[in-house]
Amino acid sequence: MKQGDLVTRKSYGGDVIFKIQEFRQQQAILRGVELRLLADAPFRDLEMAPQIDPLESLGAMRPKWLEDMRRSGAGAAPQTQSDGLQGTEPAESPKPRPAYFELPGRVLHLDGDPNYLRKCMLLYNELRVPADGYYVAEANMADALYRLLPQLQPDIVVITGHDGLLKQRGRTHGDITQLTSYKNSHNFVNAVRVARQFEKNRDVLTIVAGACQSHFEALMQAGANYASSPARVLIHALDPLCIAAKVAFTPIKDTVNIVDVIGLTHSGLEGLGGIESRGSYRRGVPRIEYAIRK
């Protein structure tokens, strides 16, 4: 076996496919292919899996929420009450309705996995969500946000990558209330704190944070609007994107329906939770005819 090979763990019945990130002494450091899980395993516990391109694997597994989101929010102009742009004017009114332009919320997506980031950026584009994506190791995310937030001024920040509960003294994990029991939750918490220091209003900057089995309570207390994982379960690689895209196309005068948006994700309420938050979508008039050339 070598770095980059896809493997499964015999002791877990081969339930998750991992990519070997690196070797440390007699163990391999593993990153999930479709799940945002970071793990380690001794060489003897590893078994080779079919060697497919991880990006192709994610592409073949089209998120079931993608079409629902196109119809109900992201990728389609939201249906709103009368506002003078797309309102219910009398049929006999001679005044034409002005054409408007759209400003969905802009996303800054930090990801600890380059394959996941590539797939996420493709889907943001497909859903017409303006997004800037950066591959950043989890330990460096707080510093990256300190630099990027003033520069990019996003409406939504996604802080994700890989996480997991640590094995301690022969047990699956220790005290799940302690940040020290997690591989990267403390890094996500630090990043959330930096973002929330930059913008304290949770309706101005929406923060989506966490990965598989992350410390949900700590992330929420640090200032996240949405976080994983309330039941310490594994979450799908694209679940944070699902939340961000829905917020981006929810009108600013509306709150995002928490149960509905989390219900769209692969993980559901066991994998993701959050608080009432306003959307980031705006409309304006008149329609912009010319784009600024940079």
The C-alpha angle 149, 212, 115, rounded to 5 degrees, equals 65
- Superfamily designation of domain 57-76+93-284: Response regulator (3.40.50.2300)
- Give the model's pLDDT for residue 163: 93
Residues whose CB falls within 8 Å of the CB of residue 270, separated by 6 or more in sequence, listed in order: 229, 230, 231, 233
* CA-to-CA separations, 105 to 9, 132, 133, 149, in angstroms, rounded: 40, 12, 14, 14
Provide φ and ψ at 41, rounded to 5°.
Answer: -160, 145
**Assigned token pair, 30:** 């593993």
User: Could you read off the pLDDT tens digit of each residue along the chain, which spans 294 residues?
Assistant: 888 888 888 888 877 888 888 888 888 888 777 777 778 888 888 888 877 665 555 544 455 666 666 665 555 555 544 455 554 445 555 566 668 889 999 999 999 989 889 989 999 998 999 999 999 999 999 999 999 999 999 999 999 999 999 876 445 556 899 999 999 999 999 999 999 999 999 999 999 999 999 999 999 999 999 999 999 998 988 999 999 999 999 999 999 998 888 888 888 999 999 999 999 999 988 877 665 555
Domain boundaries, the chain: 6-52, 57-76+93-284
Provide φ and ψ at 56, rounded to 5°.
Answer: -65, -35
**pTM for the model:** 0.80
SS3 (DSSP) at 139: helix
